[in-house]
């Protein structure tokens, strides 16, 4: 469904991504894992058109190239990004936030219907519909960000560190909902530092280190070698290449 | 922030009815003229409410659009002999085009950087009005601007201007309130709250910023063009950075996002200095103090304090419960 090839991205002169290539098959849940500064967020920003990329990069979504489209055109195709740090609109109410998610949709009745459905995912937000989103707890804000993403009827939902700064119990709840969303047919690309949680729910994962994919594999395989993965998160990935899992060429 | 809110339609209706008959009760023509100035300022403030209140984009050089509207309209009417009404439209169009231009730096800049940029724009326009003597007559001032003619009748008296401006103001209020509830208003609110998040919602941030700047320039340009024909005389001295700041403070005092609040503050802050003339040299000090108080104390809290005070008077026979915690 999503195929990224030769993706390079720069911040000024500093190169953040080196020839990244990966795929996200339809109705799967794929995780992009890595330590701080590995380039996970940059990858998502590049896909959704929020940062500049090299001219030879190619991003195909649903059979068509999207690398040259503007962010709003990419959203219109059903590729929805739930940004890091939740990125909700703090001064707007919960309801208004949800309505913003459906900004590009013209089918008002269906939007109302979807709002009901989306609220079933996190029923605790039902009582808070008219509260300013900035007054919600961290967990609720993350839930709201996911719900807002769902309001756009995404074909592919990209989540940037949904577990960041949340209590373990809340993280579990968030991930349960992500699994539900995925089972109901929405493809998910997940970016995480929380390796264990992400590998438990996703099907396939790529490990990113300093702007390169250094390892990939099915989630259960990687989960079995979790101890080894940890070395990548300490920035010592190179030393364990001979340790059993095939590194990327 | 300010008490005038669309939730109180009755109070608003009464206020507008009062304004409709006000010219017949004002002591003399001068006061009607001051009201007219207030209405023109309020019109410009509506633009800032859209740009700053709704969209979060700062413009500290807003008088520039007012100036562009005023001088363009005057030049078209006097130098080119256009009918004043057509000249006004030309002034509004010219100001709006420059609004679109000024939105370009706002694509990249925000906060203090954007403010400096808009201040610079304001200064450039001010210096042009002084130095382009062949067009603007520079510091000598632009004389002999004809008054407006509408439907074959000349808008000559202060009262006629009052009703013209009042009508346009009501239309602008309704339009701005409608805009706020539309998808444009929601997009602007999203941009104000979080630009990146707005972008990933599928909002065309650049187009919306341009639209907000054009709306703001349109309102200020219209106010300026009308002002030119109302006063018949333009001088660069009436369009300084100070004017930009006062338009901005009217917007903030009115509660930023509230269209009616902005209008109320625009009219009130124009009238206030005139009413305080008797204070002579102290008036700027008192005036600044009042503005400061309004900004520091939300109107509701002032009202609440007043009520508590009155209740305390009644209950405790004269003792005033200042400083007591309210529960």
Residue B5 above 70 pLDDT? no
pLDDT value of position B324: 40
A77-115 pLDDT, tens per residue?
999 999 887 688 998 999 999 999 999 888 888 898 999
Chain B residues inside the 8 Å CB shell of A101 = 201
CA atoms within 13 A on the CB side of B229: 34
Q: Are the CB atoms for A133 and A141 separated by under 8 Å?
A: yes
Chain A residues inside the 8 Å CB shell of B198 = 89, 100
**Helix or strand (DSSP H, E) at A33:** strand A29-34
B325 touching chain A per CB within 8 A: no
In angstroms, the CA B44 to CA B28 distance is 25
Using CB atoms, pick whichever of A75, A92, A99 lies closest to residue B200. Answer: A75
B178-192 pLDDT, tens per residue?
999 899 999 999 999
Sheet (strand A156-160) strand order: A79-82, A156-160, A187-192, A29-34, A204-209, A212-218
Q: Are the CB atoms for B206 and A49 separated by under 8 Å?
A: no
What number is the average pLDDT over the span B2-25?
70
Burial of A156 (0-12, 13-18, 19+ CB in 10 A): buried
Q: Are the CB atoms for A94 and A125 separated by under 8 Å?
A: yes
**Which residues are within 8 A (CB) of A40 and not within 5 positions of it... i.e. 6 or more apart?**
A32, A33, A34, A160, A161, A191, A192, A208
Does residue B78 sit in helix, strand or coil? helix
Residue of B53, B56, B202 to mutate, interface with A, max A Cβ within 10 Å: B202
Burial of B146 (0-12, 13-18, 19+ CB in 10 A): middle
Residue B19 above 50 pLDDT? yes
Total-model pTM:
0.80
> What is the CATH architecture of B9-296?
Orthogonal Bundle (1.10)
Chain B residues inside the 8 Å CB shell of A50 = 196, 199-200
Hey, are the CB atoms on A72 and B199 less than 8 Å from each other?
yes
What residue has token string 């520079």?
Answer: B138
B92-135 pLDDT, tens per residue?
999 999 999 999 998 888 888 999 999 999 999 999 999 998 88
Q: Where are the domains of chain B?
A: 9-296, 297-327
Residue B236 above 80 pLDDT? yes
A83 touching chain B per CB within 8 A: yes
Chain A residues inside the 8 Å CB shell of B208 = none
Instruction: Chain B: give the shortest CA distance to residue A129, in Å.
Output: 17
Hey, are the CB atoms on A87 and B183 less than 8 Å from each other?
no
B167 touching chain A per CB within 8 A: no
Hey, are the CB atoms on A72 and B194 less than 8 Å from each other?
no
- Kindly identify which residue of chain B lies nearest to residue A148, measuring between CA atoms: B201
Hey, are the CB atoms on A75 and B201 less than 8 Å from each other?
yes
B250-272 pLDDT, tens per residue?
898 888 888 888 898 899 888 88
A107 touching chain B per CB within 8 A: no
pLDDT value of position A242: 40
Instruction: Chain B: give the shortest CA distance to residue A127, in Å.
Output: 22
pLDDT value of position B304: 64
Instruction: Chain B: give the shortest CA distance to residue A55, in Å.
Output: 22
- Split chain A (249 residues) into runs of 10 and give each run's mean pLDDT: 89 85 93 87 90 87 90 92 84 92 88 90 90 90 92 93 88 92 94 89 91 89 80 54 43
Chain A residues inside the 8 Å CB shell of B202 = 71-72, 75-76, 103-104, 152
Instruction: Chain A: give the shortest CA distance to residue B200, in Å.
Output: 6
Closest to A17 (Cα-Cα) out of A62, A64, A66, A51? A51
pLDDT value of position A239: 43
Q: Where are the domains of chain A?
A: 2-78+154-240, 90-153
A42 touching chain B per CB within 8 A: no
What CATH fold (topology level) applies to the domain A2-78+154-240?
A: Rossmann fold (3.40.50)
B188 touching chain A per CB within 8 A: no
Instruction: Chain A: give the shortest CA distance to residue B205, in Å.
Output: 9
């Amino acid at each position: 469904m999503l195929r990224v090839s030769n993706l390079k991205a720069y911040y000024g002169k500093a190169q953040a991504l080196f020839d990244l290539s990966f795929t996200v098959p339809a109705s799967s849940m794929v995780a992009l894992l890595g330590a701080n500064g590995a380039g996970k967020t940059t990858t998502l920003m590049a896909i959704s058109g929020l940062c500049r990329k090299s001219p030879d990069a190619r991003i195909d979504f649903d059979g068509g190239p999207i690398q040259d489209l503007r962010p709003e055109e990419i959203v219109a195709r059903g590729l929805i990004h739930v940004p890091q740090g939740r990125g909700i609109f703090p001064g707007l109410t919960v309801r208004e936030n949800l309505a913003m998610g459906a900004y590009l949709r013209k089918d008002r009745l269906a939007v109302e219907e979807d709002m009901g459905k989306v609220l079933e995912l996190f029923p605790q937000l039902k009582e808070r519909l008219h509260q300013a989103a900035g007054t919600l707890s961290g967990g609720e804000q993350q839930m709201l960000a996911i719900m807002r993403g769902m309001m756009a009827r995404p074909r592919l939902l990209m989540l940037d560190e949904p577990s960041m700064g949340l209590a373990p119990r809340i993280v579990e709840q968030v991930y349960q909902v992500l699994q539900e969303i995925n089972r109901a047919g929405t493809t998910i690309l997940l970016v995480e530092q929380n390796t264990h949680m992400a590998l438990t729910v996703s099907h396939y994962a790529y490990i990113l280190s300093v702007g390169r994919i250094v390892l990939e594999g099915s989630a259960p395989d990687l989960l079995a070698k979790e101890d080894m993965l940890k070395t990548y998160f300490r920035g010592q990935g190179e030393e364990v290449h001979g340790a059993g899992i095939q590194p990327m060429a | 922030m300010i008490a005038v809110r669309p939730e109180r339609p009755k109070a608003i209706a009464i206020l507008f009815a009062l304004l409709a008959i006000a010219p017949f009760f004002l002591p003399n023509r001068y006061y009607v003229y001051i009201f007219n100035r207030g209405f023109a300022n309020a019109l410009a403030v509506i633009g800032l409410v859209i740009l700053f209140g709704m969209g979060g984009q700062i413009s500290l050089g807003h008088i520039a659009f007012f100036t562009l509207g005023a001088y363009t309209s005057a030049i078209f009417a006097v130098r080119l002999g256009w009918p004043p009404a057509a000249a006004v439209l030309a002034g509004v169009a010219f100001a709006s085009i420059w609004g679109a231009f000024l939105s370009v730096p706002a694509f990249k800049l925000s906060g203090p950087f954007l403010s400096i940029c808009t201040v610079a724009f304001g200064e450039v326009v001010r210096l042009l009005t002084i130095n382009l003597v062949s067009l603007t007559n520079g510091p000598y001032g632009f004389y002999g601007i004809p008054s407006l003619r509408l439907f074959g009748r000349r808008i000559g008296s202060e009262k006629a201007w009052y009703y013209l401006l009042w009508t346009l103001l009501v239309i602008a209020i309704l339009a701005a309130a409608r805009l706020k509830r539309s998808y444009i208003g929601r997009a602007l609110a999203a941009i104000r709250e979080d630009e990146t998040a707005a972008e990933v919602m599928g909002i065309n941030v650049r187009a919306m910023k341009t639209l907000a700047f054009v709306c703001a320039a349109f309102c200020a340009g219209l106010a300026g063009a009308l002002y030119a024909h109302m006063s018949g005389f333009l001088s660069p001295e009436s369009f300084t950075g100070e004017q930009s700041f006062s338009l901005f403070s009217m917007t903030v005092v009115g509660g930023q996002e509230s269209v009616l609040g902005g209008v109320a503050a625009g009219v009130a802050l124009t009238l206030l200095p005139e009413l305080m003339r008797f204070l002579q040299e102290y008036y700027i000090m008192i005036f600044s103090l009042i503005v400061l108080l309004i900004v520091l104390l939300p109107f509701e809290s002032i009202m609440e304090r007043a009520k508590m005070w009155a209740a305390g008077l009644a209950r405790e026979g004269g003792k005033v419960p200042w400083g007591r915690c309210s529960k």
